[in-house]
Amino acid sequence: MTKDRQAVTMDNHPVSGVGLGLRRSMMDELMAEPPWDVDFMEVAPENWIGVGGTLGRKFCWFADRFPFVMHGLSLSLGGQAPLDVDFLARARQFMDLHGIRYYTEHLSYTGDDGQLYDLMPIPFTAEAVRHVAGRIRQASEILERPIAVENVSYYAAPGREMKEIQFLKAVLEEADCGLLLDVNNVYVNAINHGYEPEEFLAAIPGERVVYLHVAGHYVEAEDLRVDTHGAPVSDPVWALLDETYRRFGVIPTLLERDFNIPPMPVLRRELEIIRSLQARHEPAQHV
């Protein structure tokens, strides 16, 4: 039976609280001891659309118990090849079936006629703004939902005509879309490209942020961080998350971990840090 489509809340946040990116290797442990301290979950549609059998039943178990959002990996919003409209139609059906609340995608490109299996940086140009914004609007029309794009980590800026923050804001305005703000990516890019992460945050249009990501990264050198999602969240990223809440208020926040996934008690400690930081910035309750 198809679930009713769930509307986005009035403050533009489709979910609330603390979230976890659901990975297949986590499922059995989570099902044995459900993480009722997790408020929502996120999956990549490419990993789940069309999956049946035991794995499909496990996904339904989680979808029946937790609000879900979807985070795409391969739509290639910055690419030149036509958008995969068949995939978007299947994604819409999947969201309808499981009551998934929101769709997000990386602000990047992942190939042309074939997949590169990496998130490549879009040139920071006015032409690219118009191109990407048009594809975001097209994807939203096919999905029959508003979508949000994520600021990505990048290690080179070919053809740059404007700063990263200028490009990001121009895309959000031109496409009239939401922002999935990845706090770890802000920190990684700030180190790698020599700017202050707090200044980047200060320029973000907070009203467009739908939720946040935090994740771990690898320290390659003093001036080089690699976005891996395979390590604990670092202290500077926790501090930047705290600053994000201070600046914008409490925003739903999801912990990403893609490999080197530790036992659930270890992940829960990171989830507890998110919740404690959120509690620090909750408005005081007056009796």
- One-letter amino acid for residue 106 of the chain: H
What is the C-alpha to C-alpha distance for residues 122 and 124, in angstroms, rounded to an integer?
A: 6
What is the C-alpha to C-alpha distance for residues 176 and 116, in angstroms, rounded to an integer?
A: 28
- Nearest partner of 102 among 177, 198, 190, 22, judged by Cα: 177
Q: Are residues 180 and 149 in contact, defined by beta-carbon separation less than 8 angstroms?
A: yes
What confidence score (pLDDT) does residue 220 get?
82
Q: Residue 259: which residues within 8 A CB-CB, separation 6 or more?
A: 228, 229, 230
What confidence score (pLDDT) does residue 84 get?
93
Phi, psi of 166 (to 5 degrees): -65, -40
Angle between helix 85-98 and helix 126-143 axes, rounded to 10 deg = 50
What is the C-alpha to C-alpha distance for residues 286 and 206, in angstroms, rounded to an integer?
A: 26
First to last CA, the chain: 44
Report which secondary-structure segment, H or E, holds 187: helix 183-193
Exposed/middle/buried for residue 112 (C-beta within 10 Å: 0-12, 13-18, 19+): exposed
List Cα–Cα distances, 151 to 15, 33, 86, in angstroms.
19, 33, 25
Quote the tokens at residue 144: 């029959």
- What pairing do the DSSP bridges indicate for beta strands 103-106 and 178-182? unpaired
Report which secondary-structure segment, H or E, holds 252: none
Tell me, what DSSP letter sits at residue 208? G
Model confidence, pTM: 0.92
Name the fold adopted by 18-281.
TIM Barrel (3.20.20)
Residue with tokens 């029959």: 144
What is the C-alpha to C-alpha distance for residues 96 and 265, in angstroms, rounded to an integer?
A: 32
Domain ranges of the chain: 18-281
Q: Are residues 13 and 40 in contact, defined by beta-carbon separation less than 8 angstroms?
A: no
Quote the tokens at residue 108: 């990047």
Q: Are residues 134 and 93 in contact, defined by beta-carbon separation less than 8 angstroms?
A: no
Exposed/middle/buried for residue 199 (C-beta within 10 Å: 0-12, 13-18, 19+): exposed
What confidence score (pLDDT) does residue 6 get?
34
Residue with tokens 């997790």: 38
Give 52-59 contacts, CB < 8 A, sequence gap 24+: 55/24, 58/27, 58/31, 59/98
Q: Residue-wise pLDDT tens for the chain (287 aa)?
A: 233 333 333 367 999 999 999 999 999 999 998 777 899 999 999 999 999 999 999 999 999 999 999 999 889 998 888 999 999 999 999 999 999 999 999 998 775 665 555 567 789 999 999 999 999 999 999 999 999 999 999 888 777 899 999 999 999 999 999 999 999 999 999 999 999 999 999 999 999 999 999 999 888 888 888 888 889 999 999 999 999 999 999 999 999 999 899 999 999 999 999 999 999 998 865 44
What confidence score (pLDDT) does residue 112 get?
63
